[in-house]
Each structure stands twice: as C-alpha cells, then as structure tokens.
Structure 1
Amino acid sequence: MRLSTRNQLDGTVLSVTRGEAMAVVRVELPGGSEITSSITRDAADDLGLATGSPVRVLIKSTEVALGVED
C-alpha cells in the first residue's frame, strides 16, 4: 500500500470500544506510548479491528493540534 500521508506509525490495537455509530480504538506504539482514534463502527468492523491487531496509524498533519501550559 502506497500513501501520501508521511506521518505513519505502526502499532498494536489495545482495545476497540464500539458505540452505535462510532468506535474508539486505542493503539500502543513501539516504546509504550498510546494513541486513540475515533472511527466509524462500520470502518472498525470492515477492518476487522480487535485487540492485538497490527495497525498503521496515519496522521494528517493539518489535523494535529498542539497546546502549551500558560
């Protein structure tokens, strides 16, 4: 699979919490950091996401927000 997205992180699914329309997917990255993604429930089902599934996290740089302490 070739993608234009440059921010790609391999990880392992820690959990998938399915709601009526959305699913929250927690992913462990190498080194122990975690990242969470909200996707449609249909997408989670279509991808067959389950605990232990290997995944690639794609981060669109225009959708990242940063904050700092005052």
Structure 2
Amino acid sequence: MEVSYKKLWKILIDKDMKKKDLQAAAGISWASVTKLSKGETVSMEVLMKVCKTLNCDIGDIMELIPTKDNETT
C-alpha cells in the first residue's frame, strides 16, 4: 500500500498555510514535513500532532492507496 497526503495539502491551501507554517505550529521536524511531501510514511505521533494542529481526524489528512502488489485477482 502507498500513502497519499493530498488531503493534507488541500487543507493547508484552504487554511492559507505553508508547509513551514504547519511545521512550526505542529512542532514537527522539517524531516517529517519532507517525508510527508514525498508520500513516505511518518510516525503516528507526527500524524497526531498534525491532526491536533489542524483540528481534524487522521482520515482528513491521508489515505491508503492499494498497489498492484496488494490487489487480489
């Protein structure tokens, strides 16, 4: 499975926030923001800080996308 954070970037646009604003407000490292930008996995702690900062649920900022390897035929 792959992780998509497209929902997170849409929320940031809607709130007129930049990635650096999220990083500062959530108290997460720049390395974590970079991982989010690349669609890589981050710790649950990072996701919880982002959700708390944006006052949203985890499903509002990310989704899991099945890959061909995970599909059953």
TM-score between both structures, scaled by the size of structure 1: 0.25
Higher RCO (Cα < 8 Å, 6 or more apart): 2
Point out the structure with the larger helix share. 2
TM-score between both structures, scaled by the size of structure 2: 0.24
